[in-house]
Structure formats: structure tokens, C-alpha cells
Structure 1
Amino acid sequence: MAADKRGEFEDQVVLVTGAASGIGRAVALMLHERGARVVAEDKNPMVEALARPGLIPLVADITLDGAAQKAVATAIAHFGRLDILVNNAGIIINKRVVDMTRDDWDRIQAVNVTAAFLHAREAVHAMIPNRKGAIVNIASYAAYQAFPTIAAYAASKGALAQLTRALALEAIDHGIRVNAVGSGDVVTNILNDVVEDGPDFLARHGEKTPIKRAAQPEEIAEVVAFLASDRASYIVGSVVMADGGMSVPAGA
């Protein structure tokens, strides 16, 4: 870690969803190492392994009523305020529309969009009195591109991108910046319920990008850290693509 970033988030309080593994875990640890006090929220009890001074794990189902309020209240109770929210939690299903059930569809939207909306709403309430804050949503190149079997996921990430833009316009008058990362293929466990070896599948799928590899979670965490920091003070309502060139149109 670069020395000039070590105290970048000193005295900042951060809430990260989906923090038990992958991008969320990388974000929680990176911001904590750079001085932040962190609440790491996840349904998976493995999030408790992150516990250390200044980093509080919270086992919770982010889709349930009251979960967002509890998460924000936990940050305030332990650390006195909330400065940064990272809406990272996400799930995927690989089914064609004709094979998908209503429950399949609703489950993806509940995690990827509705929970992000609820956490953002509560975070903004907490940030308004301080006249400052940052929200970073983890979107995807699937917000703009699609292929067969990812209709539910692509729709959810498209909705998250638009939530980012609309909320950014509402929140900036209170000094709160809202942005998103358009993530590409990252070697995580998100596909473990879909394919036999999720990380390996993502690593191989990443070879199809212009950069010819998938990202590591820490590479996306760096983009999150930038957008959450004062270094990005003029960036409002943007979806910053970090997808190895996947979203760049190919030449004729």
C-alpha cells in the first residue's frame, strides 16, 4: 500500500454490504487499512472473520425490512456517524427468460437493486446533517451490455446504474456524491451457485476482454476507494467502467 494513502480515510466511517468475500471483503479491508472505521455487512457468517479493532462485522440479510436501518444504526452506535456507503452485495442467476420463475426474478432484484436503494436511503438520511458523504454502488458492464441467460442480472445492474444517476442529482445539494463502478469479470465466488468452479469460470471468461484477463477484487476496490475519496470530489453520478475494455465497442 502506498504510504500516501495510509491515512486517506482517517476518521471516516464506512458501511460495506456483501463484505464476506470478493470485492466487498477487499473494499472493507482496504479502507480499514487506510484509516477508516468499517461496518462489514453480509448474510454469510464468514463475515465475522473480519472482526478487528475498528472493523465491526454485521451478519444480516440485506433484503429484509429493517436491515438497512440496523446497518446504519450500527455504524452510528459504534463510530458516531456514517461517511461512506459501498453497495456491493450482488447475486446472479443464469436462466433464459422463458425458464425463469417470478421468484428467480424477484430474488435478483431484491439483492441487487432494492437492498441498494434501502441502504442508500438510510445512508443519505445519516449523511445529510454532516453535509458530506459518498455512496459507491457496484454496477457492471451488464448495465449496458447483455447476452443470453443474464436478463435478470442485466436488468438489475441497469436499474442500479440509473438509481446511481438519479440519486446523485438529489444528494449533491447535501454535499453527498453518488457514483458507481461498472465492474467487469472479477475472480470472486458470485457464480459458485451457478457453475462448478465460479472463480475459474470468471478467470477464463475474463480472457475474452481486450485486456485478456479477469480482475482481482483488490483492483475494483482501488476504484471504489478513489470514488469514495476526496480525490474524486468532482465526480458526481458517474458509472466508472473498470471492465478490462469489455464495454468498448469493437472496431469494424
Structure 2
Amino acid sequence: MTADLAGKVVVVTGAASGLGAATVSDVLERGGRVVAVDRAQEVKALAGDGVLPVVADAADERQVLDAVRAGEDAFGLVNGAVACAGITRAGTVDSMSLDTWNEVLRVNLTSVFLLAKAAVPAMRRAGGGALVAVASQVGLVGYPENVAYCAAKAGVINLVRAMSVDARDSGVRAVAVCPGPVDTPMLREGFEQTGEGYDLAASRVPLGRVARPEEISATICFLLSDAAAFVTGTAWTVDGGYTAQ
């Protein structure tokens, strides 16, 4: 896969750590520029040539819109967006509180809608672009004690499908990426909640291991690039064979 991102300005949410941070690094390596958005103050450490860090809540409509506009002001346009912000909370339908359910959907699904709502008009102004939303393999299949996260990620997949149809004449593409388990702080947080660990997670993957963040960000960068110009409205599974079982 070739993924030349010269001329691309990409808004990345959840940029301070994990898959978001890997995506920021990959976009820069491939010639793009980045608006790095995270509610954590640590995102400021990404400041440098080609990176505009913005401290913002990815699930706050005004803050996301301001971040996209800041990117247009700083770089002249925005023609890419990657929704990486996410949290996980363990629970079943009979054990999870409504507050926890709402929190998981707010961060994992509503934030994607808000990024699209802000970024798609900017992409139209730029003459086109691509939004890549990070879903999950558990948006395609169920997973024990993860009911809200599974529901949110399934919503992300169908959100990009609907977006791709609505944007058919605008030059804007929308794609979901469905990773398997990825070695990130969020995965480790999930282990703490469920009592699982790397060995159990790896045993469920035909390739026998969890993914490295850069293996997923490479796919994201391809989907942002012009090499993927005919890819929209679909979910790319990068899960080591998890959903093939």
C-alpha cells in the first residue's frame, strides 16, 4: 500500500496516546500535517513542525468545531480526519449503569458524529477529503462484558456507511477501521477492568498476538491517501484473523 499524504491536513482526535499518537506520527512521516486533538494536556507535547496541538474534548460540539477551524486557519485547509478518541468500560446489560452506558456512547460514537459534522464541511471547502473512524472488531461480533463498547463501535461502522451515501457528490469519503486488540493504554485499562491479560487476548487471535499501534495507523494512512480514492462506505478489518473464526 502506498500512502503519500503530502498536501493532506488531518484532524486526529485522541491524539495524545495509543493509536491516535501513532497516527499523528505516521501522517507526519508520510508528508502530511496534523491538528492533534485530545482533552489531555499531554497533547501539547506534540507541538512542532507540521503539528498543531489542540486541547479539546472530542465529544464537545463547540470544541471540535473550533479545533477544525483552527486547523484551517493554521494550514489553509482540512482535508482529512481520524476519529481515534475512545474509552472502554466493562459491563453487561444487567450490570452497567445508564450513566456508564451514556459515557461510553458519548466518547466512542457521538465524538465520531461531531468530528464528521465539523470536518466534512471543511473537506468540501477543500475540494474533498476522507474521514477514517476507528471502530473495532467488536463492532462486528459480540464480546463478553463489553456491551456498551460493542454497541458504540457497531454504530460507528454504520455511521460511516450512511455518511458515504450522503456525501456521494461531495468528494468526501468515509471509512471505518476495525482493529483487533492493539497494544495501547486503553487495552491495558480494559485488562484491569476484566482481569484479562495479553496471553488471553493473544490466544483469541489466529496470528497469536495483539497488534502494534503502527500496524493500524499504516492502514489509516492508506485510507486517508489518494491511493484509496475508490474506498468509501466500508469497514476495513485489521484484526489478525479474529473475525474469521
Letter in 2 for 1:31: V
Which residue does 1:52 correspond to in 2? Answer: 48
Which residue does 2:156 correspond to in 1? Answer: 160
What is the root-mean-square deviation in Å for CA atoms of aligned residues? 1.9
Which residue does 1:97 correspond to in 2? Answer: 93
Distance 1:89 1:205 in 2: 22
Distance 2:142 2:226 in 1: 33
Residue 117 of structure 1: how far off its partner (Å): 0.2
CA contact 2:79–2:123 (8 Å) conserved in 1: yes
Residue 234 of structure 1: how far off its partner (Å): 1.0
Classify 1:230/1:143 alpha carbon distance in 2 versus 1 (closer, same or farther; 3 Å).
same
Pick from 34, 38, 41 the counterpart of residue 42 of structure 1: 38
Pick from 107, 112, 118 the counterpart of residue 111 of structure 1: 107
Letter in 1 for 2:40: N
Which residue does 1:24 correspond to in 2? Answer: 20
Matches within 5 A, 1:82-231: 82-196=78-192, 201-202=197-198, 204-231=200-227
CA contact 2:90–2:193 (8 Å) conserved in 1: no
Distance 1:26 1:197 in 2: 24
Letter in 1 for 2:234: S
Distance 2:74 2:95 in 1: 45
Residue 197 of structure 1: how far off its partner (Å): 9.5
TM-score in terms of structure 2 length: 0.94
Residue 99 of structure 1: how far off its partner (Å): 1.3
Residue aligned with 1:40, SS: strand
Distance 2:66 2:188 in 1: 28
CA contact 1:185–1:202 (8 Å) conserved in 2: no
Deviations along 1:173-219, one digit per CA (max 9) or x if unpaired, are 10111111111000001144444499x93464123211111000000
The higher relative CO (CA closer than 8 Å, separation ≥ 6) is in: 2
Q: Could you tell me which runs of 5 or more consecutive residues in structure 1 were left unpaired when the two chains were aligned.
A: none
Deviations along 1:75-96, one digit per CA (max 9) or x if unpaired, are 1111111010001111111112
Runs of 4 or more above 3 Å deviation = 191-198
Matches within 5 A, 1:61-100: 61-100=57-96
Distance 2:14 2:126 in 1: 26
Distance 1:236 1:22 in 2: 25
Distance 1:11 1:234 in 2: 19
Distance 2:187 2:214 in 1: 18
Distance 1:192 1:97 in 2: 23
CA contact 2:104–2:149 (8 Å) conserved in 1: yes
